[in-house]
Structure 1
Amino acid sequence: MAESLRDIQTRLGAVFEENAVEEKASVPLSFGNEPTAIQAARTGVAICDHTHWGRIQVARSDRLNFLHNQSTNDFNRLKPGEGCDTVFVTSTARTIDLATAYILEDTILVLVSPNRRAHLLKWLDRYIFFGDQVTLTDLTEQTSTFSLIGSESSALLQQLGLDDLSSQPYASHRLMTLGGHVVRIAVGSGLALEGYTLTMATSAMATVWRLLTEAGAVPLGDRAWEHLRIEQGRPAPDRELTEDYNPLEAGLWQMLSFDKGCYIGQETIARLDTYKGVKQQLWGIRLKSIAAPGSIITREEEKIGTLTSLTETEQGAVGLAYIRTKAGGAGLHVQVGDTEGDIVEVPFVKHERVSL
């Protein structure tokens, strides 16, 4: 009997979260190697299991125009083999999720956050009107996704006989064969670190994981991913992406098109951009000691922001926070609950327009 992915991961030291919600029940919380895995993601190559993330297929002839109208990026410029990050927002431009879309010949594959899959399927379905040639299919249970993270990711793939995609634009993707299985390999790790996103059928995931780890990829659990997410500044649903914030405040300027015309939330986003109406911005923060997410951030006893995420690193506590724009940004010294901190830049976040 073939060894399952869970068996392989357990043999590598995986610990799974007890009493986890169903979508995270099979996700390794830790491999007991956090310092090693995090360092591999920075300077070598790590592999993270993102099978619990949602995968939604958008099909039929109106698929490109549909996503073009329902999210912030310009889909009508994209061709098969290309892709992009995009943000789903409400009619008032409040954030729902940060997603990545890959354009295939006849469909579009959209990778979404695990705790937004069901919501997005229902939300998108509401905007399919009579006569629209669009269908949505949840492929999450039939497929799997791994992230390769680190500067040696390309070398590892070449070591396994796969094509070098390192010179290709972000979210470019190609079908390749690994261990006898077809795998879609896309440029981008999901962080502001080099790497790739691999998507395959569930029947292939055990073989692909084994081959990648045997080739030198260091297993990285969900706890270490959260550490890197915060350190890199990638906003997450229920933390930095909520109905309290819009994508400009969240620093997702690189996922917004200001020229493509009408889409859900476009009027609000255009007005914020035109009239410089971004009242708060997402920043990194380095703290002297631990503070709880949700802690109020003050300067000279005046509230200027809120701590949204926190993790501990070898250099101390690091977090993400929304800071009032008029208060300043990087270099600002602040009070966070009972401790102090300094506002810092994080690589995933932008604070002004980015050319697409």
Structure 2
Amino acid sequence: MNLVKSCTDMAMMMRIDCVSHITNTALLPCLYNGTVLRRRSLSLRNSFFRERKLQLRCVSASSDSLQFDFSPPPIDHDLLDTVSVAGGKVSEDGIVESFDNDDEALDAFDNGVVVVDLSHFGRIRVSGDDRAHFLHNQTTANFESLNEGQGCDTVFVTPTARTIDIAHAWIMKNAILLTVSPTTCQSIIEMLNKYIFFADKVEIKDITKQTCLFALAGPKSNQIMSKLNLGDLIGQPYGKHQHYSFDGMPITVGVGSLISDEGFTMLMSPGGAVSVWKTLLAEGAIPMGSVAWEKLRITQGRPAPERELSKEYNVLEAGLWNSISLNKGCYKGQETIARLMTYDGIKQRLCGLNLSAPAEPGSPIIVDGKKVGKLTSYTRGRDGSGHFGLGYIKKQAASIGNTVTIGEDISGIVSEVPYLARQHPPSANSSS
């Protein structure tokens, strides 16, 4: 596959590709970066897909960024139908829960590569001339220091710096895309709209149902990226993303898998999701459902809303240092964060816990007969053996390697978790 460095070249190649198969092709218009492209119907494309590899063509940074605000084109089978036919279990609200391979998928995350459908996560498009300044003031990250094609994690907090959710942001030419947790999307949109004043040039739009989102994770993710001629993203900073075209359908690929700085995230329209999914599986990715993803979230230590992220805990206690700017000026929660830093006001911290038995989230964590924290998440280990949790513990009560008690008689060893271990407190003099 050759990467095309301009929209004109890309459009020409797409036309040639279509003409060469026009006798057996059903054509549908697709608006992509102001150029009318044509694509084959999904059924014919899937048949042709078996004869060739995924063709991804790069869109130059100088062209208009993807809008993802068009209506999904008609398709023969959507992704959930494809997953169900292949044996996947899909919930009534459209979440791919399991492929009956949770242990295999978790092992692939450690030793191979997995692909996860995260389309149930919320996706918010923030547009308008004031979008960067607006998000700069509403969240913890320094948006005004970022350029097109870059990305970051940021945290939505209350005015007292209590946590709401972690958002992964992509800075596009005409918009900023935020990926948030499934349970917070609507409330975050409502909150943001309340802070848009009359003169602000900001528009908030929920594009969750108009897009699909996959995460590719594991040490062999780079191998698949190379096979798909996406090697230019390997080794790039977290959040770096690039626009591509797959059979005339827009797709954006970014560095990072939400749960880890490694791996990749893929955003596309529903019309292209089935072919992308099948291609990733054909290249060796193991499918993972939401049940295994939740196990992975807990063992990796990524905080989640209504668990580790709530009005009970502030953003510094959650340890989300990589998402916080200490010197960008005034923003929501900034005064509280500044006081906590100045007066060493961080009294507790989020930790991992290796447990001796199953434990109920909400159970107290006890040291020397005194309550020193609370268990927030729990999961069983692989093959049903082993038990692991996340919880907040007072800083002076226990450290990594210490033993605590959960509830009445469950022992736990405080442990480090990968997601939090990658967080580094910035210095007050840094430009973060």
Output the CA distance in 1 between the equivalents of 2:216 and 2:352. Answer: 24
Output the CA distance in 2 between the equivalents of 1:323 and 1:171. Answer: 31
* 1:81 and 2:149 correspond: yes
Work out which of the residue numbers 410, 414, 421 in structure 2 matches 1:343: 414
In the TM superposition, residue 130 of structure 1 has moved relative to its aligned partner by 1.3
Deviation by residue 1:295-318 (Cα, 9 ceiling, x = unmatched): 111011110110000111136101
Q: TM-score, normalised by structure 2?
A: 0.79
Work out which of the residue numbers 145, 158, 161 in structure 2 matches 1:90: 158
Asked whether the 8 Å contact 1:57–1:110 carries over to 2, the reply is yes
Q: Structure 1: which amino acid aligns with 2:395? A: T
Work out which of the residue numbers 76, 81, 84 in structure 2 matches 1:7: 81
* 1:68 and 2:136 correspond: yes
Larger radius of gyration: 2
Report the equivalent of 1:21: none
The structure 1 segments of at least 4 consecutive aligned residues displaced by more than 3 Å after TM superposition are none
Report the secondary structure of 1:349's partner residue: helix
Report the secondary structure of 2:144's partner residue: coil
Asked whether the 8 Å contact 2:79–2:270 carries over to 1, the reply is no
Unmatched runs of 5 consecutive residues or more in structure 1: 19-24
In the TM superposition, residue 325 of structure 1 has moved relative to its aligned partner by 1.1
Distance change in 2, residues 1:352/1:148 (3 Å) = closer
Aligned residues: 350
Work out which of the residue numbers 195, 213, 221 in structure 1 matches 2:289: 221
In the TM superposition, residue 149 of structure 1 has moved relative to its aligned partner by 0.7
Unmatched runs of 5 consecutive residues or more in structure 2: 1-42, 44-75
Q: Which piece of structure 1 moves more, 246-255 or 9-18?
A: 9-18
Asked whether the 8 Å contact 1:150–1:193 carries over to 2, the reply is no
Percent identical among aligned pairs is 45
Report the secondary structure of 1:216's partner residue: coil
Work out which of the residue numbers 387, 395, 403 in structure 2 matches 1:317: 387
Output the CA distance in 2 between the equivalents of 1:198 and 1:248. Answer: 30
Output the CA distance in 1 between the equivalents of 2:135 and 2:221. Answer: 30
Q: Which piece of structure 1 moves more, 202-211 or 93-102?
A: 202-211
Report the equivalent of 2:38: none
Output the CA distance in 2 between the equivalents of 1:198 and 1:28. Answer: 17
Q: Structure 1: which amino acid aligns with 2:153? A: D
Asked whether the 8 Å contact 2:295–2:379 carries over to 1, the reply is yes
Report the equivalent of 2:373: 305
Deviation by residue 1:152-187 (Cα, 9 ceiling, x = unmatched): 112102212334312110000001233543210000
Output the CA distance in 2 between the equivalents of 1:303 and 1:189. Answer: 35
Work out which of the residue numbers 306, 328, 336 in structure 2 matches 1:260: 328
Output the CA distance in 1 between the equivalents of 2:387 and 2:196. Answer: 45
Q: Structure 2: which amino acid aligns with 1:353? A: P
